[in-house]
Amino acid sequence: MSQLSDKPTTGVLDDLELYTRIYRQMLLIRGFEDLVQSLFLKGEVYGTTHLYSGQEAIATGVASLLEERDRVAATYRGHGHALALGVDPQKLLDEMLGRETGINGGRAGSMNVNSLDDRLIGSFGIVGGSIAAATGAALALKRTTGGVAVAYFGDGAMNQGYVFECLNFCQVLKLPLVFVCENNGYGEYTPFESVTAGEIRARAEVMNVPAETIDGMKVWTVRPAAARALAHAREGNGPSFIEALTYRFVGHSRSDPGAYRPEGELDDWRMRDPIVLLRAQLEADGVDARRLEEIERAMNEELERMRERGVAAPFPSSLSSGEFKQ
């Protein structure tokens, strides 16, 4: 990390309105996750949760380049992927709360959200499951609309056999799939280096799949990498692989305080908070700080209204309140 220069210089962001919208989206994702966590601690959220806090630049950067005909397969850490695609945040929150007004009628919960209208074909609790689903989607897209499929997955998925099967299958058939490995350094409580040999990227390169490792904390680094991968797929050249280096600011899931992390590691990564980095860059490029503050204030209000509506929403008619509570 130390070799990365985070000091903002001017003239970096090529489209200030676009990046300001992305900034708002990243605030929404972070605020949404904070809200889910606080509701979880109050016993309002059903099942478990895996939060996306810290990884926002990846989902927002990739989603900012997707077209209507593209499709996305997310992981169980998928609230951020869903929000970046435009899933209605109120419906997503209601889903967490198990309400009938949820995006999946309150029956999917945190880990299994999908919304075909928003291009999200699923969130997958099986590690790497998103890759297999996205491969199927890529096959269908190649034969129909010409859209591109995106698979998000973690560093932990790299040791699953079907990652190789899908990479190989996609490369042989030149399927339009962008593999996005969100390397946050851990699979549950295990540092990825202790279970993963060699470079992650090399596993794609050995099949001649173009691959790059990027800084996943800077959305303006994510976007060009995603643009290259998407263009490669749209031109009929098949899959690409992006390893985005990132960090989750919270534990693996609901009950994990993250005590296995070396002292100071979280603090170091927090210095590279993707929201803080983007804000500093926006200001360096000339966006008025007061405008960004106003966006933040309005977002906090919106989240509070969302919370009020969510906890007041009805449960599915076939269930009585609390029936599935753990």
Ligand X SMILES: Cc1ncc(C[n+]2csc(CCOP(=O)(O)OP(=O)(O)O)c2C)c(N)n1
Q: In the complex, which residues of this chain contact ligand X (CB under 6 A)? A: 75, 77, 125-127, 154-157, 184, 186-188, 252
CB of 207 to ligand X, least distance (A): 20
Contact partner, 90, from Mg ion, ligand X, none, Cβ < 5-8 Å per class: none
Contact partner, 115, from Mg ion, ligand X, none, Cβ < 5-8 Å per class: none
Decide: 20 and 291 in contact? Cβ < 8 Å: yes
Binding Mg ion (rule: CB under 5 A), the pick from 123, 184, 240, 246 is 184
Residue with tokens 């998925």: 157
CB of 110 to Mg ion, least distance (A): 17
For Mg ion, the closer of residues 84 and 127 by Cβ is 127
CA neighbor of 178 nearest in space, from 142, 215, 141, 138: 138
Report the C-alpha gap between 44 and 308 in whole angstroms. 12
The helix/strand/coil state of 281 is helix
How far separated are the first and last CA of the chain, in Å rounded? 40
Report the C-alpha gap between 59 and 134 in whole angstroms. 16
For ligand X, the closer of residues 131 and 209 by Cβ is 131
Q: What is the torsional sign of CA 180, 17, 33, 302?
A: negative
Beta bridge partners of 243: 181, 213
For Mg ion, the closer of residues 187 and 239 by Cβ is 187
Residue 154 interacts with Mg ion (CB under 5 A): yes or no: yes
Contact partner, 247, from ligand X, Mg ion, none, Cβ < 5-8 Å per class: none
CB of 82 to ligand X, least distance (A): 15
Of the listed pieces 40-48, 92-100, 181-189, 252-260, which binds Mg ion according to CB under 5 A? Answer: 181-189
The helix/strand/coil state of 13 is coil
Residues 58-117 that bind Mg ion (CB under 5 A): none
Residues 214-243 that bind Mg ion (CB under 5 A): none
For Mg ion, the closer of residues 19 and 153 by Cβ is 153
Q: Checking phi first, is residue 114 left (phi over 0); if not, alpha (psi -120 to 50) or beta?
A: beta
Of the listed pieces 99-107, 109-117, 152-160, 205-213, which binds Mg ion according to CB under 5 A? Answer: 152-160
Report the C-alpha gap between 71 and 116 in whole angstroms. 8
CA neighbor of 98 nearest in space, from 324, 307, 253: 324
Instruction: State the number of binding residues for Mg ion (CB under 5 A).
Output: 6
Binding stretches for Mg ion (CB under 5 A): 154-156, 184, 186-187
